[in-house]
Amino acid sequence: MTEVARTQGSSSEIERGGVAEVAALGNVLTGLFKRLGITQTQYAHRVHLDKSAVSRYLSGRRLAPQEFVDRLVREVEDHLGAPLQLEAKEALRNQRLEALRVCNPDEFQLESLRGELARSRRDTRRAERNIEALQTLLERKEDEVRRLADDLTQLRLDWGAERADPAPAYDLLREVARLRQDLQDAERLRAEAEHHGAELRDRVLRLEEELSRRSPATGAVPLDAFQAQLAGLWEEENFPEASRELTEAAWSRPLGELVRLLGWLKEEVGVGTAATFAADVARLRPLEDVLEFAPEVARQGRSRIRDSWTSAVAARITPRNAAAVHQGLRNTTTPSGPEGDRVLAEAVSRIRSDADVVSIVSAALSGTAAPLRMSRLARTLARGRPTDRFGLRLAVGLAAAGRHDMAALVLGAGLRDGGPPEGDDLRLGIAVRDLGDSDIELLFDLVTWLDDTRLMTAFAQWLDHPHDVALRDRLFTTMAQQGRLGLLDASLSRSLETSLRLWRRSRGQ
């Protein structure tokens, strides 16, 4: 029985939801750890790991990484002042491989290939040493043959051919021939080992590349066992550990498992926990994973889960990734509208700078046609900013950035349909005057070239106030100069019709 085998615990030490192979490895590691004579907290500080991670590896709730196993072995060897037996180390490695085979077959295959590659490299080095030894021996024997041939020739000259015995030379020649054959065999074995090693390297690289595109390997147990472990932690009221486990699962487990886990949390634990988990997925996963997860969140409908996920994604949006997020969510639609509209609206609601808002929105819409269903974003831009009551500054900024389509949506959301409520017509004039002359010119150009006649008319109607005659006349002048004044539907407002007639009369029209 090896040192490692003697440290194994009984099967009764397997925790609820544990995997037998992982628990067995945990028992072995615990036996090794006890030789150090320190607490888990001390060891965690020594090796720069979280105490909970050390606890999970030693208890068998989580498969310990090979780096953790190797470090523990080194620490024990340093503490004992002597190396562990080679058989013990090999048994420990095999036990971890068996646990890995159960938890992560792909990683098990990769580790097995790496082990085979290491053995192939050892075989190659052994063949090279054998070749070097054979070459040295062959050179020595060939020197002996040459010397013996010289001696034999001299004897024949001195004593006559009948007195010289050629048998020793023949023996050496046969030995040289055998050494040459051994050398050829050794070189063939080395070539075979090198070829096998090259094939293994290619397989390892391909598998590493494939696995690198997936979630990082964390030694997680199968999903059903993980769910049982979580249930056990909640029963024990060990809520901090359960939260850590869920957070780690959010960034480490495959997306397919996350979908199942979200549904399980919602049904078995509660919407609040599921919402927190969805937010962790949005915060911690690569962006492409987050977007791939979006349809599952959209299926939750109006819920805390969807709200938490939306808020977490919105917090990640920057001018650099805004287009990728918006494009990735365009086809994710719910009864209340596109998910991209919700996320972008949430993102801009957090930003104070008008320039930064314009930058985010412009970046998100870059390379896309006119936004069709961005009503939530338009309302947020038009009404969600106390310092920009009608979203005029943002509309002007978007127009200046070349997004007249989104600027029109913002104006529409700011003005709403129909005439202005009492008092809003006055406030619109104040908001326009606050823009400054150049921005007013850009705003009136935007209104003039709107494709929506009702919106053009509504803006003119809202500006039709006794305090804003100069602004209203300036708008009429801009529209007339560009041949668009006739598009106003003055019949919608008697006041606007009268104002337009007086303006024309004042210009002799």
SS (H, E, C) 346-415: HHHHCCCCHHHHHHHHHHHHCCCCCCCCCHHHHHHHHHCCCCCCCCHHHHHHHHHCCCHHHHHHHHHHHH
- Across residues 366-387, what is the average pLDDT? 79
| pLDDT of amino acid 4 | 39
- pTM recorded for the entire structure: 0.65
Residue 497 has pLDDT above 70, yes or no: yes
Number of H helices, E strands in the chain: 25, 2
- The tokens describing 59, both together, are 């208890």
| pLDDT of amino acid 1 | 35
488: three-class secondary structure by DSSP: coil
Give dist(CA 193, CA 508) in Å, integer.
100
482: three-class secondary structure by DSSP: coil
Q: What are the tens digits of pLDDT across the range 151-183? A: 656 555 555 545 555 566 667 677 778 878 888
Q: Which of 94-98, 226-230, 382-386, 399-403 has the highest mean pLDDT?
A: 399-403
- Across residues 124-136, what is the average pLDDT? 86
φ and ψ of 56, to 5 deg? -65, -40
Residue 423 has pLDDT above 50, yes or no: yes
Q: Of 413, 359, 419, nearest to 389 (Cα)?
A: 413
66-80 vs 20-34: helix crossing angle, rounded to 10 = 30
Residue 324 has pLDDT above 50, yes or no: yes
| pLDDT of amino acid 2 | 40
| pLDDT of amino acid 483 | 93
